[in-house]
Amino acid sequence: MLKDYYVLDREIHAKITEFDLAQTFECGQCFRWNKIYDNGYLGISSGKVLEIEQKQDRFVFRGTDRATFEGYWIDYLDLKRDYGKIIEKISTEMHMIRATEYGNGIRILLQDEWEALVSFIISSNNNIKRIKKIVEGLCKLYGKPADYKNNMLFAFPDPKDIYGAGCEDLGDIKCGYRAGYIIDAVEKVHLEEVDVYSIRNMKYEEGIKELMRIKGVGPKVADCVLLYGGAKYESYPVDVWVKRVTEALYLKKDSKPADIKDLARNMWGDLAGFAQQYLFYYARENKLETGVDK
């Protein structure tokens, strides 16, 4: 966790344990952080740009100031949470011990709810590379530009920025049949038929029901939005990878999503979301095949 930090020459220097940029930004939870040099990432969230450089447990934050760092990025990067303690709590057997050792620097980001909603609508039946491309296209089309050291970044557009557009207007971003889902989300959120900005104050089940009123939002997408944008850490999104790895390690093949979620709830309780992230990263990075633990 965040130990101490100081501001020097418009840079913030900090010592943070249990934090790795590559693991955190490439574990599949977010789509808008890019590596710009070795151990350096550049991203934008809620219209705020941030560059982060890492050397072991030392970090340098650039492009921000003390007030924004304290008022926004500490929460976004979840720097106050003791991940050592979480790892200790969920590592009750050897598989999770291995997974948490492998991804011991993962942190679950507190993303903007609306951005998480649209991003994970786009994620359905899709691959991460193309998801990133489509999200970026949407931002370039409707988001506010912000330049940073010769990099042109675009904020994720608000519902009002996209409202009025039709599916045909999204043609250039190549999101296929998901265009209709995005437009439905824009309309329902903009017209306040769905209150995505209140999911952090709702109970888990309530949040699921609220989100699933949008077309293209099923159980998996709703789980992701609640975990990554709603801070609902009991959420256990079950996608092909998590299904595969959970079955291989703890269950049998062809289990039902409900059974997989029950197991997660029983084993990890309100920390299931963290467990899910370690398992997902572990399985995907090691390309674990069905039933085979390499």
Partner DNA sequence: ACCCAGGTCATCA
Partner DNA sequence: TGATGACCTGGG
Sign for the CA dihedral angle at 36, 277, 126, 202 comes to negative
- Burial code (b: 16+ CB inside 10 Å, e: under 16) for 260-286 equals bbebbeebbeebbbbbbbbbbbbbbee
Judged by CB under 7 A, which of 10, 35, 149, 174 binds DNA?
174
The residue within the footprint of DNA, chosen from 277, 278, 283, 288 (CB under 7 A), is 277
Selected range binding DNA among 40-48, 139-147, 192-200, 219-227, rule: CB under 7 A: 219-227
User: 3-class SS at 145?
Assistant: strand
Contact flag: residue 24 with DNA (CB under 7 A)? no
Q: How far is Cα of residue 270 from the mean position of the Cα atoms in its chain?
A: 18
Indicate which single residue of 216, 226, 233, 278 sits in contact with DNA (rule: CB under 7 A).
216
Of 42 and 222, nearer to DNA (C-beta) is 222
Bridge-based pairing of strands 40-45 and 48-55 is: antiparallel
- Residue 246 touches DNA, criterion: CB under 7 A: no
Q: What is the 3-state secondary structure (H, E, C) of 48-96?
A: EEEEEEEECCEEEEECCCHHHHHHHHHHHCCCCCCHHHHHHHHCCCHHH
Both tokens of 29, joined, read: 């939870």
284 belongs to the binding site for DNA (CB under 7 A): yes
Tell me: does residue 220 bind DNA (CB under 7 A). yes
CA 25 to chain CA centroid, Å, is 8
What is the longest distance spanned by two Cα atoms in the chain? 56
Rounded to the nearest 10 degrees, how much is the dihedral formed by the CA atoms of 196, 143, 186, 195? 20
Closest approach of DNA to the CB of residue 128, in Å: 4
Nearer to DNA, 157 or 273 (CB): 273
Nearest in space to 119 (alpha carbons), one of 224, 274, 194:
224
What character string, x for contact with DNA (CB under 7 A) and - otherwise, covers 123-152? Answer: xxxxxxxxx---------------------
Cα 238 to Cα 223: distance, rounded to the nearest angstrom:
8
Contact residue for DNA among 42, 50, 217, 226 (CB under 7 A): 217
- In the list 25, 158, 237, 264, the residue contacting DNA (rule: CB under 7 A) is 237
Does position 294 interact with DNA (CB under 7 A)? The reply is no
If the CB atoms of residues 16 and 288 are measured against DNA, the closer one turns out to be 288
Q: Binding of DNA at residue 248 (CB under 7 A)?
A: no
Answer for which of 17, 104, 219, 234 binds DNA (CB under 7 A) is: 219
The residues of the shown chain that bind DNA, judged by CB under 7 A, are 27-29, 123-131, 174-178, 212, 214-222, 224, 237, 239-242, 256, 276-277, 280, 284
